[in-house]
Structure 1
Amino acid sequence: MTEVETPTEDIHVLSAPSHLDITVKHRLNRKWTLWFDSQQKRATQSNWHDSLKNLITFETVEDFWGVYNNVIKASSLAAGSNFHLFQAGIQPMWEDPQNEKGGKWVAQVAKAKIPEMDDLWMNTMLCVIGESFDDAEEILGAVVSVRRHGNRLSLWTKSFNDGEKCVRIGTEWKKVLAYGEEDPIGFQAHSDAITHNTSFANKDRYTV
């Protein structure tokens, strides 16, 4: 398990709507799809697939804000619900060919941070669609999960075997979240999730 120190430099995110010229469409480098699912009972592979809904695909900054301002905020989701933001054509599941060799950084949203959860999710999405990470080509998507025992954010990557690159991504994301040393985040490999058939109860490969 690798531990690194959080850097002090800032990371750039897209501007908020008030800073945009709404008469011009600002195209993103790629299309993104927002998905939703909600499980009110223990999920199986079958009923999880049935509950997964493709909400919309967008490809401009303005369309992102149109989507964001017209869907329920993450903090208002029912327990057992998830929003998934992924590159268009990639499904938010371990088994997708684009995901199976990757993993995810997981950030717990402590009770004290619940009032900030919508901003944490928004800033994560902005960094993802704006490709603000140094290793932006590695970022496939992000998820916000609301649970009775604790909410989580996760950032999905294409691969997990390059430890230096994974740690660099996690360190940058932790800076975006404004998490300190008291709020470690961990990286889990999808191959472990597939082996153990569980989303979050897997050993961290890296921590920052």
Structure 2
Amino acid sequence: MEQHSYPLQRKWVIWEMWNQSKEFGSSLDSMGEVGEFQGLHEFWQHWNYLPHANPLMLFENPETKVKIIIESINQSIEAIGIFQDKIKPFWDDPNNKSGSSIYFEIGVGEIHRLKDIWDKLVFSLIGETLPYSEDIVGVRIVDKKCSYKYEVWCKFDGNANRFVNKALQIKDEIKELLGVVNIQIASHSSS
């Protein structure tokens, strides 16, 4: 088994999701893995050198409307995600199908907070510091052009009442951690 300096509880994968167009046949065709890590050293190697650590380097500039186009696929990046290994960042993945996402948006007027919020969410994810972290399978940020949507994806544990309670506790922790007020919970199965 490979040694990892300062191993994390789980292995994580960095994903990018591209602007969906007619060229892509399915959700899986419009996303790709860009890195993986299982230890802190590997994480910081990615976070310090990949542009995915700073969404402003990949998303459309709201002031100039300049898009970053990925040459190999001739598309812009629509979302960035960090997900547990072997769990894909789309709702049809068997691990996500009956789960939920806890989400909130910030407007382009708060673009100066974009990286700070993203960092805090990712650090809380890989550090397993949010309540019921074992039920959280990933985080994602989506460029909605007029706002930025942050999502925390949770798996369903089979008990509806307990699941709702867990989601509410995670939501409260995110509210306290990030100072955002309007946080929503959406069931994946109802979308």
Pairwise TM-score range, normalised by the shorter structure: 0.7 to 0.9
CA distance in 2 between counterparts of 1:49 and 1:156 reads 17
Aligned equivalent of 1:156, options 143, 153, 156? 153
CA distance in 2 between counterparts of 1:132 and 1:51 reads 31
CA distance in 1 between counterparts of 2:57 and 2:95 reads 30
Report the counterpart of residue 146 of structure 1 in structure 2.
Answer: 143
Runs (4 or more) in structure 1 with deviation over 3 Å come to 40-44
CA distance in 2 between counterparts of 1:145 and 1:132 reads 23
- Cα displacement (A) at 1:76: 2.4
CA distance in 2 between counterparts of 1:113 and 1:159 reads 32
- Cα displacement (A) at 1:116: 1.0
Give the partner amino acid of 1:74. Answer: P
- Cα displacement (A) at 1:144: 0.7
Report the counterpart of residue 54 of structure 1 in structure 2.
Answer: 33
1:32 aligns with 2:29: no
Between the two proteins, the alignment pairs up a number of residues equal to 166
Alpha carbon RMSD of aligned pairs, Å? Answer: 2.0
Larger relative contact order (C-alpha < 8 A, sep ≥ 6)?
A: 1
- Cα displacement (A) at 1:133: 1.5
- Cα displacement (A) at 1:93: 0.8
Give the partner amino acid of 1:50. Answer: D
Report the counterpart of residue 174 of structure 1 in structure 2.
Answer: 175
CA distance in 2 between counterparts of 1:42 and 1:82 reads 18
Flag structure 1 segments of 5+ consecutive residues without an equivalent.
1-23, 194-208
Report the counterpart of residue 126 of structure 1 in structure 2.
Answer: 123
- Please tell me whether the aligned partners of residues 103 and 157 of structure 1 are also in contact (alpha carbons under 8 angstroms): yes
- Please tell me whether the aligned partners of residues 107 and 146 of structure 2 are also in contact (alpha carbons under 8 angstroms): no
Q: Which moves more between the two structures, 105-114 or 84-93?
A: 105-114
2:166 alignment partner, SS class: helix
Flag structure 2 segments of 5+ consecutive residues without an equivalent.
61-76
Q: Deviations over 1:86-119 (max 9, x none)?
A: 0001011111111111010111012332111111
Report the counterpart of residue 186 of structure 2 in structure 1.
Answer: 188
1:66 aligns with 2:64: no
CA distance in 2 between counterparts of 1:98 and 1:47 reads 18
- Cα displacement (A) at 1:176: 1.8
CA distance in 2 between counterparts of 1:42 and 1:57 reads 29
- Cα displacement (A) at 1:174: 1.7
Q: Which moves more between the two structures, 107-116 or 28-37?
A: 107-116
CA distance in 1 between counterparts of 2:164 and 2:27 reads 31
- Cα displacement (A) at 1:51: 2.3
CA distance in 1 between counterparts of 2:13 and 2:138 reads 9
Aligned equivalent of 1:90, options 87, 90, 95? 87
- Please tell me whether the aligned partners of residues 36 and 54 of structure 1 are also in contact (alpha carbons under 8 angstroms): yes
- Cα displacement (A) at 1:42: 7.3
Q: Deviations over 1:163-184 (max 9, x none)?
A: 21110011111222122xxx31
CA distance in 2 between counterparts of 1:185 and 1:120 reads 14
TM-score of the aligned structures, taking structure 2 as reference length: 0.80
